[in-house]
Structure 1
Amino acid sequence: MRVTKKLLLGSVVAAAALVLSACAPSPDAAGGAAEPGAEGPAEVTVGVITSETGPLAGYGKQYLEGFRAGLDYATDGTNEVDGTALVIEYRDDAGDPDTAVTIAKELIGEGVNILAGSASSGVALALAEQAAQNQVLFLSGPAAADAVTGINEYTFRTGRQSAQDVATAGTFLDDIEGKKITVFAQNNAFGQGNEAAVSAILGAQGAEVDSVLVAEDVTEFTPFAQQVIAGSPDLVFVAWAGATSGAMWQAMSQQGVLDAIPVVTGLGDAATFGAYGEASEKISFLNHYFAGGPDNEVNAAMIERVEADGGTPDLFTPDGFTAALMLVQAVREGAGDVDAMIAALEGYSFGGPKGPTTVRASDHALLQEMYQVKLVAADGALVPELVDTAPADAVAPAEAG
Structure 2
Amino acid sequence: MRVTKKLLPKAALVGAVVATAALALAACAPQTAAPSASDSGEAGPAEISVGIITSETGPLASYGKQYLDGFKAGLDWATDGTGEVNGTKLDIDYRDDAGVPDTAVAIAKELIGSGTNILAGSASSGVAAALAEQAGQNKVLFLSGPAAADAITGINGYTFRTGRQSAQDVATAGTFLGDLEGKNVTVFAQNNAFGQGNAAAVEAILGAKGATITPVLVAEDVTEFTPFAQQVLAGNPDLVFVAWAGATSGAMWQAMSQQGVFDKVPVVTGLGDSATFGAYGEASDKISFLNHYFPGAPDNEVNDEMVKAVEAAGGTPDLFTPDGFNAAIMLVQAVKEGKGDVDAMVKALEGFTFDGPKGKLEVRASDHALIQDMYQVKLVANGGAFTPELVATVPAKDVAPAEKQ
Q: Same fold (TM over 0.5)?
A: yes
> 1:351 aligned to 2:355?
yes
Q: Which range moves more in the overlay, 273-282 or 190-199?
A: 190-199
Within 2, Cα distance between the matches of 1:347 and 1:391? 18
Q: Which residue of 2 aligns with 1:127?
A: 131
1:71 alignment partner, SS class:
helix
Q: Is the 8 A contact 2:223 2:248 kept in 1?
A: no
Deviations 1:236-292 (A, max 9, x none): 212345777556545654666545653201111110001112211221111111111
Within 2, Cα distance between the matches of 1:53 and 1:245? 24
Q: Among 291, 300, 303, which residue is 1:299 paired with?
A: 303
> 1:164 aligned to 2:168?
yes
Within 2, Cα distance between the matches of 1:293 and 1:47? 31
Q: Which residue of 1 aligns with 2:151?
A: 147
User: Identity percentage over the alignment?
Assistant: 77
Q: Is the 8 A contact 2:334 2:345 kept in 1?
A: yes
Deviations 1:82-112 (A, max 9, x none): 1111111111112122222122112111211
Letter in 1 for 2:135: A
Q: Which residue of 2 aligns with 1:70?
A: 74
Q: Is the 8 A contact 1:168 1:395 kept in 2?
A: yes
Specify whether residues 174 and 40 from structure 1 end up closer, same or farther in structure 2 by C-alpha distance, changes over 3 A only.
closer
Which residues in structure 2 correspond to 1:7-46 (within 5 Å)? 39-46=43-50
Within 2, Cα distance between the matches of 1:251 and 1:221? 12
Deviation for aligned residue 1:193:
4.4
Q: Which residue of 2 aligns with 1:207?
A: 211
Which residues in structure 2 correspond to 1:353-368 (within 5 Å)? 353-368=357-372
Q: Which residue of 1 aligns with 2:384?
A: 380
Q: Which residue of 1 aligns with 2:276?
A: 272
Within 2, Cα distance between the matches of 1:239 and 1:161? 15
Within 2, Cα distance between the matches of 1:129 and 1:373? 35
Q: Among 368, 371, 375, which residue is 2:375 paired with?
A: 371
Q: Which residue of 2 aligns with 1:31?
A: none
Cα RMSD for the two superposed structures? 2.4
> 1:313 aligned to 2:317?
yes
5+ residue gaps, structure 1, are 1-36
Deviation for aligned residue 1:190:
5.5
Which residues in structure 2 correspond to 1:326-345 (within 5 Å)? 326-345=330-349
Q: Is the 8 A contact 1:51 1:93 kept in 2?
A: yes
Q: Is the 8 A contact 2:351 2:365 kept in 1?
A: yes
Q: Which range moves more in the overlay, 50-59 or 256-265?
A: 256-265
Specify whether residues 244 and 331 from structure 1 end up closer, same or farther in structure 2 by C-alpha distance, changes over 3 A only.
farther
1:222 alignment partner, SS class:
coil
After TM superposition, where is structure 1 displaced by more than 4 Å over at least 4 residues in a row?
Answer: 185-193, 212-215, 240-248, 250-261
Specify whether residues 301 and 396 from structure 1 end up closer, same or farther in structure 2 by C-alpha distance, changes over 3 A only.
same
Q: Which residue of 2 aligns with 1:222?
A: 223
Q: Among 244, 263, 277, which residue is 2:267 paired with?
A: 263
Deviation for aligned residue 1:174:
3.9
Letter in 2 for 1:277: G
Q: Among 94, 99, 103, which residue is 1:99 paired with?
A: 103
> 1:56 aligned to 2:87?
no
1:152 alignment partner, SS class:
coil
Within 2, Cα distance between the matches of 1:379 and 1:116? 39
Matched length: 362
Letter in 2 for 1:265: T
Q: Does 1 or 2 have the higher relative contact order (CA < 8 Å, sep 6+)?
A: 2
Within 1, Cα distance between the matches of 2:90 and 2:191? 38
5+ residue gaps, structure 2, are 1-40
Specify whether residues 252 and 128 from structure 1 end up closer, same or farther in structure 2 by C-alpha distance, changes over 3 A only.
farther
Q: Which range moves more in the overlay, 114-123 or 195-204?
A: 195-204
Specify whether residues 66 and 338 from structure 1 end up closer, same or farther in structure 2 by C-alpha distance, changes over 3 A only.
same
2:368 alignment partner, SS class:
coil
2:279 alignment partner, SS class:
helix
2:202 alignment partner, SS class:
helix
Q: Is the 8 A contact 2:143 2:160 kept in 1?
A: yes
Q: Which range moves more in the overlay, 83-92 or 340-349?
A: 83-92
Deviation for aligned residue 1:197:
2.4
Specify whether residues 124 and 377 from structure 1 end up closer, same or farther in structure 2 by C-alpha distance, changes over 3 A only.
same
Deviation for aligned residue 1:302:
0.2
Specify whether residues 346 and 225 from structure 1 end up closer, same or farther in structure 2 by C-alpha distance, changes over 3 A only.
farther
Deviations 1:319-339 (A, max 9, x none): 000011001100111111110
Specify whether residues 52 and 252 from structure 1 end up closer, same or farther in structure 2 by C-alpha distance, changes over 3 A only.
farther
Q: Which range moves more in the overlay, 337-346 or 233-242?
A: 233-242
Deviation for aligned residue 1:149:
0.8
Q: Is the 8 A contact 2:285 2:379 kept in 1?
A: yes
